Structure 1
Amino acid sequence: MDAATPLNNRIAAGLVFLTSGAVLVLEIVGLRLVGPYVGVTLSSSTAIIGVALAAIAYGAWTGGWLADRRGDPRRLLSPLLLLGAAATAATLPIVRVAGAWLRDAGPSSVLLLAAMALFVPAALLSAVTPLVVKLQLADLAHTGRVVGRLSSVGTLGAITATFATGFVLVATVPTSVILLVLAGVLALAGFGFGGYWRRTGNLSAAAAFVVIGVPLGIVTPSPCDVETAYTCAAVGEDGGEGRVLFLNGAQHSYVDLGDPKHLEYAYTQWIGSYVDGLPAGPLDVLHVGGGGFTLPRYVAATRPGSDNLVLELDPALVELDRRRLGLRTGPLLRVETGDARAGLRRQPSASRDLVIGDAFGHLAVPWHLTTRELVTDVRRVLRPGGVYALNVIDGPARRFVRAEVATIAAVFPFVTLVAPRPALRGETGSNFVVFASTSPVRAMPDSLTGEELRAFVGGARVLTDDYAPVDQLLTWD
């Protein structure tokens, strides 16, 4: 085939559609890959999007430069597809190895891990479109039509990949499978185009794909027992009947399979102690966040006849709890899956004695569950004198917990903050538990209230639906 012969329109459109879509698949899956190590936060989302855009820009610029430097740019298409396949397959082991190393390396680790996950494969694949454009420009009189058509096809590929990955693939297929299948599709396209043009593909790139990418992607250990639509979940054992639930790599819950009254973590002990001090008899309790269901099971065991309703976002996590953590639901321990804020809005006014908020992770905090509007709805659901107990995790800077206490104090007249003294002084990070009510809150050891609490909050700004920069406030420094 002569170098001046335009590339077949359908093949050109297929290459642009495939590579543009592949970049978006990598971008969406990239956030799932880095989440277990650096959290699913605004910072990690921003890093993934920024790195993807940088890779697209660099790849497009480089592809255009190569298109003008090579007499026949089509000879580069098969190697680029095969190298893109190899880089895509290698992404999985690279992130898993580097993620464990960078987990506690500080804020820069988010950007570095995002770059390691995305930049090389996205840049290689983004270089394809300008090469295809050059190969389609047989007649300069039709430049606008060619560029517009291929740009439209590329955008359509990106949109298709975004919807398919976000709504279908992530919810039904593990991330590792998505990446390896994508790498396989790209490799087939590379071999296929090599056969179409030269009958043989680029053997060195093919060897890199087969020898490096796929085997490493298969054998590298996954940090997840279950990868849900929302999190990477794993269950660890302590040698006895204790089980630890990890969400995105961070400890979230401890469950004693033989004793639901056992509370391992200090923050659960503080909440449990407060529950124990309430008037005798069953309680109507709403739990915002399920996790390992430690506190719902504690209330059910210590207050027989209590009504526990748990609002948990992730149905796959609930199924994992049933399989691995011994969760048994029934009329007095019920689960509603879906967004907790929407679930809270459905609750009748003055229907609960206690609302327990335990939906905040280490670095992953749903911002819409932190605001004054949410707290106002909690107060609506509580009976007069009912208590809101909220678990908050923050670092030594204490910016987030101060803002959260200020927010709760803007709604409830009586607020108490419980935490270890070193954490209250800003010497270490910790769990903090906020107790709030329309009636005086019972004093507890290591607690701040009244003027001490106001001094702790200082000038912290109330969080609202219009202003809740949780990711910026919550830093582990």
Structure 2
Amino acid sequence: MSSSTPDVTAPADEVGPPPVRALPPGLAAFLVFFSSGAVLVLETVALRLVGPYVGVTLQVTSAVIGVALAAIAYGTWAGGWLADRRDPRPLLAPALLISAIATAVTLPIVRYAGEVLRGGAVSAVMLLTVLAVFVPAMLLSAVTPLVVKLQLADLRQTGQVVGKLSGIGTLGGITATLATGFVLVAALTSTTIVLATAVALAVVGVGLWVYLRRQDGVGRLPGPARTRATLAVLGLVGAGLTTVAPNPCDIETAYHCASVETDPDRASGRTLLLNSAQHSYVDLADPTHLEYAYTQWFGAVADVSAPAGARRDALHLGGGGFTVPRYLTATRPGTDNLVFEIDGGLVDLSREQLGLRTGPQLRAEVGDARILLGEEPSASRDLVFGDAFGHLVVPWHLATREMAAEIRRVLRPGGIYVQNVIDYAPLRFVRSELATVGAEFPHVALVAPPAALAGEWGSNFVLVASAQPLPLPALRARLDQLPERVSLLAGAELAEFVGDALVLTDDYAPVDQLLGAA
């Protein structure tokens, strides 16, 4: 009878994955910082990519953030799943290189798809946002769990490693967000930012591949040479298509994708488009020409606010093409027009292509209208024109009761506030804005097309308000001289229209939700 030593070798299916070599701490930190930062660059610039086609509204902003977070979630999960099944080292370089390719092809995909999906429908917003950010953000988000897996050599330090790399990734995202929002968007076009990001990803990916290959020979890109060549060609084609893809911008400012078109029916006419929506019309040869109906209503209020030719002190919240300031300068010589325009690039564009000439009688200050208004002296203006928009929406902080109170403070006792809003059936926003302005001004009127008041289509609506009785008979007579029939509501008729509409405040102003169909 013989004895033998028991076999204590574990079964083959119980043997864990072979140990992997950790990356140098500095390289691991860089990869997490860089990949997380690239995700936030793409998220920030995605709003600029989709804005010209679906607008820049709260819903669009929410869609970009939501899709980016979904991509981060899926990418992190997928990266962790792969890290537990394969050696992460040979996966890192391909993840960066494929991310570079996906980033490069984003521009032509969004621009061609945007022409098809143009409009503000929820489905169009979501689909275009997914095309703009999801794939490259998901691929880049897989890098962090791959790196974390490599660095977990000592289970006693798991919390320290995960916490440190998670913090570094967060810092990368914060840095990229601030740098993109404060520096890159102001200095570079969206095309340049996206392509530069793709190039940076490719450079880092190739550099990492070379480094790992020299270190341990596992850094080769997976797959046959034909696959690798196909991916490289795809990236180059994507970057090349960007040069021929339709670009809706003549110029990108810090806030807008802007273009200027010549009116085919009027040689001196120019239309300013912001994010592909008509914003202003200027006649270079005739500053008294008011093309759009709402500017004609603005002009009518200005015409009856004082005797013909009398100078006024006017404040304009929003410049755009500077149509109304030019009109006042031409019809009331000596008028002091002060324009608050948040977009300095738009002021420059108006000077270069729309005939704007600033000087003592027409001054432009770049900044947020709410902030600049607070610096204005009390009882210093005869007229205040509100015509500031983010795409088709009045910025919420310019639509509240507190804002109306500031406007009343700046107006002289007999001064008039004129505000342009856009709304669609069931007209919840214009009713709320009337209630809001009416909470501060005792005398309010509304100018609008009869069909729009009946909810048949969306339109511009012009609110007129004052601390003293408005010159309604003179305004009615002046409006009757315009080419299109228009309604003027005031008194009991206006009160019935407003009903129990919500008064908007700084604490609660759901402007985007009120605008449009229920």
Q: TM-score range by the shorter chain?
A: over 0.9
Which residue is 1:149 aligned to?
Answer: 164
8 Å Cα contact 1:191/1:200 also seen in 2: no
8 Å Cα contact 1:56/1:123 also seen in 2: yes
Deviation at residue 440 of structure 1 after TM alignment: 2.2
1:201-230 Cα shifts (integer Å, max 9, x gaps): 462474155333211223223211121111
8 Å Cα contact 2:275/2:391 also seen in 1: no
Call closer, same or farther: CA 1:288–1:395 in 2, change over 3 Å. same
Deviation at residue 441 of structure 1 after TM alignment: 2.0
Aligned counterpart for 1:380 among listed residues 409, 418, 442: 409
1:41-84 Cα shifts (integer Å, max 9, x gaps): 211111111111111010000011111121x2211111111111
Give the 5 Å matches for 1:112-123: 112-123=127-138
Aligned counterpart for 1:221 among listed residues 246, 254, 257: 246
Which residue is 1:442 aligned to?
Answer: 471
1:120-156 Cα shifts (integer Å, max 9, x gaps): 1100000111111111222223222221221122112
Give the 5 Å matches for 1:267-286: 267-280=294-307, 281-286=310-315
Letter matched to residue 167 of structure 1: F
8 Å Cα contact 1:195/1:201 also seen in 2: no
Aligned counterpart for 1:43 among listed residues 53, 59, 62: 59
* Separation in 2, partners of 1:361, 1:452: 30
Deviation at residue 108 of structure 1 after TM alignment: 2.6
Determine if the alignment matches structure 1 residue 299 to structure 2 residue 325: no
Give the 5 Å matches for 1:50-449: 50-70=66-86, 72-104=87-119, 106-198=121-213, 201=221, 203-204=228-229, 206-239=231-264, 240-280=267-307, 281-443=310-472, 444=476, 445-449=486-490
Secondary structure of residue in 2 paired with 1:69: coil
Q: CA RMSD in A?
A: 1.6
Q: TM-score, normalised by structure 1?
A: 0.96
Letter matched to residue 318 of structure 1: V
* Separation in 2, partners of 1:8, 1:461: 59
1:260-307 Cα shifts (integer Å, max 9, x gaps): 000000000111122122322111111111000000000000111111
Deviates more, 1:5-14 or 1:292-301: 5-14
1:327-362 Cα shifts (integer Å, max 9, x gaps): 000101111111111111111111111111111254
* Separation in 2, partners of 1:391, 1:268: 9
Q: How many residues align?
A: 475
Secondary structure of residue in 2 paired with 1:299: helix
* Separation in 1, partners of 2:234, 2:89: 21
Q: TM-score, normalised by structure 2?
A: 0.89
Secondary structure of residue in 1 paired with 2:320: coil
Letter matched to residue 270 of structure 2: R
Which residue is 1:6 aligned to?
Answer: 22
8 Å Cα contact 2:433/2:504 also seen in 1: yes
8 Å Cα contact 1:83/1:209 also seen in 2: no
Give structure 1 stretches of 5+ with no counterpart: none
8 Å Cα contact 1:289/1:312 also seen in 2: yes
8 Å Cα contact 1:83/1:205 also seen in 2: no
Secondary structure of residue in 2 paired with 1:329: coil
Q: Percent identity?
A: 62
Secondary structure of residue in 1 paired with 2:355: coil
Which residue is 1:18 aligned to?
Answer: 34
* Separation in 2, partners of 1:76, 1:276: 70
* Separation in 2, partners of 1:210, 1:124: 15
8 Å Cα contact 1:79/1:205 also seen in 2: no
Letter matched to residue 27 of structure 2: I
8 Å Cα contact 2:102/2:235 also seen in 1: no
Letter matched to residue 243 of structure 1: R
Letter matched to residue 218 of structure 1: T
Secondary structure of residue in 2 paired with 1:253: strand
8 Å Cα contact 1:82/1:209 also seen in 2: no
Letter matched to residue 36 of structure 1: P
Letter matched to residue 74 of structure 2: Y
* Separation in 1, partners of 2:21, 2:221: 20
Which residue is 2:495 aligned to?
Answer: 454
Letter matched to residue 232 of structure 2: A
* Separation in 1, partners of 2:436, 2:120: 31
Letter matched to residue 12 of structure 1: A
8 Å Cα contact 1:362/1:393 also seen in 2: no
Secondary structure of residue in 2 paired with 1:322: helix
Call closer, same or farther: CA 1:205–1:367 in 2, change over 3 Å. farther
Which residue is 2:479 aligned to?
Answer: none
* Separation in 1, partners of 2:205, 2:230: 10
8 Å Cα contact 2:341/2:367 also seen in 1: yes
8 Å Cα contact 2:313/2:382 also seen in 1: yes
Deviates more, 1:119-128 or 1:467-476: 467-476
Secondary structure of residue in 1 paired with 2:414: strand
Call closer, same or farther: CA 1:186–1:285 in 2, change over 3 Å. same
Deviation at residue 476 of structure 1 after TM alignment: 5.9
8 Å Cα contact 2:112/2:246 also seen in 1: no
1:81-103 Cα shifts (integer Å, max 9, x gaps): 11111111111122222222222
